[in-house]
C-alpha cells in the first residue's frame, strides 16, 4: 500500500532524528526450530499423521525469520528443512556465529489431554536471558491468547550452553485437541511468528514494522449511545453505562459507554458485524456495522425507553471451567441456559448466554437470588447471589461432564521474626504421584497461589534470600482452594555461625562446581559434559527424552512440560 509505505518512511525518519534505532540492523539472531528429521518432537492428537511438532515449529520459525530479515536483522537458522540437528550442533551454530541472542521454538505435550497454555524458559533467573524469555512470553500471550503458564527456568541444553542470552518457548500443547487444531491453522502460526518478532523488537527497543505479512490492518468502531425517546444524538441526550457488543461468527468485542455516552472498539478485524446496545430501562437496539481496514467507523445508536425502572441488573459470562483457561473470550460458552430465582418470591427469569457467552438480567429487585447455569454436555451449577442496586456481575464456570475438577493452593509467606510479608519467595509444589514440580513466586504482600491443580498429595518447598528453606506436605482437593501460610526462619549468617574457615561456603544442595550463578555471558564451554540424573542415558552429550525428568520436563523430544493450569 502506498499510504503504508509513506508512513513507514516518515516513522523511520522520526526515529533516526530522535537517536533511536528504527530497525534490527546490526543484530544477529539465531532462530532454532526444535527437533526435525528422525526426531518429530511431540506428535499431535492425530498420532503419527503429519503435522507434528517439528513441522509446525519449522513453519513458524521460517515466518519469524522472514520478518527479522525484512527488518534488516541477520538471521542464523539452526535448520531450514526437515533434518535432524543434534543439540550440541545447535549450540555450536549459535556460538560459532557469535549471534546476539538465541530463540528456540517448541510446542508442548502431556499425557493428560486437558493440559494447555503457553510457557517460556530461560536457563536461570536474572540477566538478559530472563528478560528475553519474559518478552517472548508476554507477546505469545498477547498474540496467540492461550493460558499464561508463565516464565520458568530449566537447564535445557540449548539455553544452558549457548554463550548469549537465550530463551525457549513452548507455544501451546499439541496433545490438547483445541490447541492442536488452533496451531494447525496458518493464521495461528503467523500470529505465533509475529509474537516472536515483536518480542525481539521489544528486547532491543525497536518499534516493529506494522504486521509484516499479515494482510489487512484492523479498524476501529466508535459512536454515542443516545436516548431515542427524547431526541437526537446531541450533547445532553447521551447515555452512560450502556452495554455495547460488536460481534460476528468469528469475533466478539465488548465495551461500556462512558460518562459522555461514547463507546469505542479498537483493533477490530475488518468485516461485517452486528452492534447490540443494552441498558436497563431501555429497549435493546441492534444494527449492522461494516468495519473497514485501517479506518474509524462511526456507529452512534439510539435506544428507546422501555418504561422499566432502573433498579438493579445482573450480567456475567458463562465459561468452560474444565480447560483451565478461565473467563477469557475464547473459553466462553454460548447458548447456556441461565435461570435466576428470587429466593423471597420464588419468581424465576430465564435467559440464554449470547454468542460471546454473555448473559444479562434487567429490572431486578435487590435481595437474595440463586443463579443456575446449564448446558448439554456440562454439569449444571448453581450459585447464590446477593443483588444490590445498580450493576451486579456473576460470571460462572461450568465443567464438562466427565472432566476432572481441579483445585488450588494459596497462602502468605511471612518472616517468623517480624511477621512481615516475604516478597518474591520461590514456592515449588511437587506432585508425589508424578514428581512434576510447579513453581510460582510470592507477590508484594507475600501471597502465592497455585491455580488449576490436579487433586492429590504434594510437597511444598519455599525458598527466599536470607531465610532457611521450608518444606511441608500438602493435599489438594478437587474444587477446593486450600490455604497454607508459611513462616520462614531467618538464616544463620557465616558471622553468627561456628565456621571459622576462610574457605567459600557452599549453599545447600549445591556443589562447588555448580554453574547456577553464571550470567548469560559466563556460560561453560560447549565441550563441557552436562550432569544428568542417575537414570538417564546420553549419546555424545545429547539429552534424551528422560533429560530433566527430575523437573517434570521431556522438552527436547516430547516437549512434555510440568503442567500448571490444566
Catalytically active residues are 170
- By the 8 A CB rule, do 293 and 315 touch? no
CA-CA distance, 126 to 510, in Å (whole number)?
18
What is the C-alpha to C-alpha distance for residues 280 and 48, in angstroms, rounded to an integer?
A: 54
User: Which three-class secondary structure state does DSSP give residue 131?
Assistant: helix
Question: In whole angstroms, what separates CA 352 from the centre of its chain?
Answer: 29
The two beta strands, 481-483 and 407-415, are: parallel
Eight-state DSSP code of residue 89: H
Rounded to 5°, angle at Cα 102 from 69 and 77: 50
End-to-end CA distance of the chain: 43
**Pick from 366, 380, 242: which is nearest to 321 by CA?**
380
Q: For residue 261, which of 302, 316, 221, 314 has the smallest C-alpha distance?
A: 302
Cα angle 397, 401, 404; round to 5: 75
Residue 514, CA distances (Å) to 235, 300, 388 in order: 69, 65, 59
The answer to whether 306 and 239 have CB atoms below 8 angstroms apart is: no
Buried b (16+ CB within 10 A) or exposed e, 153-191: bbbbbbbbbbbbbbbbbbbbbbbbebbbebbeeeebbbb
Amino acid at each position: 500500500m502506498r499510504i503504508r509505505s509513506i508512513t513507514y518512511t516518515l516513522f523511520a525518519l522520526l526515529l533516526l532524528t530522535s537517536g533511536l534505532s528504527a530497525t534490527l540492523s546490526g543484530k544477529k539472531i539465531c532462530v532454532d526450530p526444535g527437533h526435525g528429521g528422525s526426531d518429530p518432537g511431540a506428535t499431535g492428537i492425530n498420532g503419527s499423521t503429519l503435522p507434528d511438532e517439528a513441522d509446525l515449529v519449522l513453519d513458524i520459525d521460517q515466518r519469524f525469520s522472514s520478518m527479522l530479515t525484512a527488518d534488516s536483522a541477520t538471521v542464523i537458522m539452526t535448520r531450514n528443512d526437515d533434518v535432524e540437528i543434534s543439540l550440541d550442533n545447535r549450540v555450536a551454530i549459535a556460538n560459532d556465529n557469535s549471534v546476539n541472542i538465541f530463540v528456540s521454538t517448541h510446542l508442548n505435550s502431556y499425557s493428560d489431554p486437558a493440559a494447555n497454555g503457553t510457557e517460556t524458559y530461560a536457563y536461570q533467573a536474572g540477566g538478559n536471558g530472563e528478560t528475553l524469555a519474559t518478552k517472548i512470553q508476554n507477546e505469545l500471550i498477547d498474540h496467540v491468547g492461550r493460558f499464561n503458564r508463565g516464565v520458568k527456568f530449566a537447564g535445557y541444553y540449548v539455553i544452558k550452553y549457548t554463550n548469549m542470552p537465550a530463551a525457549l518457548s513452548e507455544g501451546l500443547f499439541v496433545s490438547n485437541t483445541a490447541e492442536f487444531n488452533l496451531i494447525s491453522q496458518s493464521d495461528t502460526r503467523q500470529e505465533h511468528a509475529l509474537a516472536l518478532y515483536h518480542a525481539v523488537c521489544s528486547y532491543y527497543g525497536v518499534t516493529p514494522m506494522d504486521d509484516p505479512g499479515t494482510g489487512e490492518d484492523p479498524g476501529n468502531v466508535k459512536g454515542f449511545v443516545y436516548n431515542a425517546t427524547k431526541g437526537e444524538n446531541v450533547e445532553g441526550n447521551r447515555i452512560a453505562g450502556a452495554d455495547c457488543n460488536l460481534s460476528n461468527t468469528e469475533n466478539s468485542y465488548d465495551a461500556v459507554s462512558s460518562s459522555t455516552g461514547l463507546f469505542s472498539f479498537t483493533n477490530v478485524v475488518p468485516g461485517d458485524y452486528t452492534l447490540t446496545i443494552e441498558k436497563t430501562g431501555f429497549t435493546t437496539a441492534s444494527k449492522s456495522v461494516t468495519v473497514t481496514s485501517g479506518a474509524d467507523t462511526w456507529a452512534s445508536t439510539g435506544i428507546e425507553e422501555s418504561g422499566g425502572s432502573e433498579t438493579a441488573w445482573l450480567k456475567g459470562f458463562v465459561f468452560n471451567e474444565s480447560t483451565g483457561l478461565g473467563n477469557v473470550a475464547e473459553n466462553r460458552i454460548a447458548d447456556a441456559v441461565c435461570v435466576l430465582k428470587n429466593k423471597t418470591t420464588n419468581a424465576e427469569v430465564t435467559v440464554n448466554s449470547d454468542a460471546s457467552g454473555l448473559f444479562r438480567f434487567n429490572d431486578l429487585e435487590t435481595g437474595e437470588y440463586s443463579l443456575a447455569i446449564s448446558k448439554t454436555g456440562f454439569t449444571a451449577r448453581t450459585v447464590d447471589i446477593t443483588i444490590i442496586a445498580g450493576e451486579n456481575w456473576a460470571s460462572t464456570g461450568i465443567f464438562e461432564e466427565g472432566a476432572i475438577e481441579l483445585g488450588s493452593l494459596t497462602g502468605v509467606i511471612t518472616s517468623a521474626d517480624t511477621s512481615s510479608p516475604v516478597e518474591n519467595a520461590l514456592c515449588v509444589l511437587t506432585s508425589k504421584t508424578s514428581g512434576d514440580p510447579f513453581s510460582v513466586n510470592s507477590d508484594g504482600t507475600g501471597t502465592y497461589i497455585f491455580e488449576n491443580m490436579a487433586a492429590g498429595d504434594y510437597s511444598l518447598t519455599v525458598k527466599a534470600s536470607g531465610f532457611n528453606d521450608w518444606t511441608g506436605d500438602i493435599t489438594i482437593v478437587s474444587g477446593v482452594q486450600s490455604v497454607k501460610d508459611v513462616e520462614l526462619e531467618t538464616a544463620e549468617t557465616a558471622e553468627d555461625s561456628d565456621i571459622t574457615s576462610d574457605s567459600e561456603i557452599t549453599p545447600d544442595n549445591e556443589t562447588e562446581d555448580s554453574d547456577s550463578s553464571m550470567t548469560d555471558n559466563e556460560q561453560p564451554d560447549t565441550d563441557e559434559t552436562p550432569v544428568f540424573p542417575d537414570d538417564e542415558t546420553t549419546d555424545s552429550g545429547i539429552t534424551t527424552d528422560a533429560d530433566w525428568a527430575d523437573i517434570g520436563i521431556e522438552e527436547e523430544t516430547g516437549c512434555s512440560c510440568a503442567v500448571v493450569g490444566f
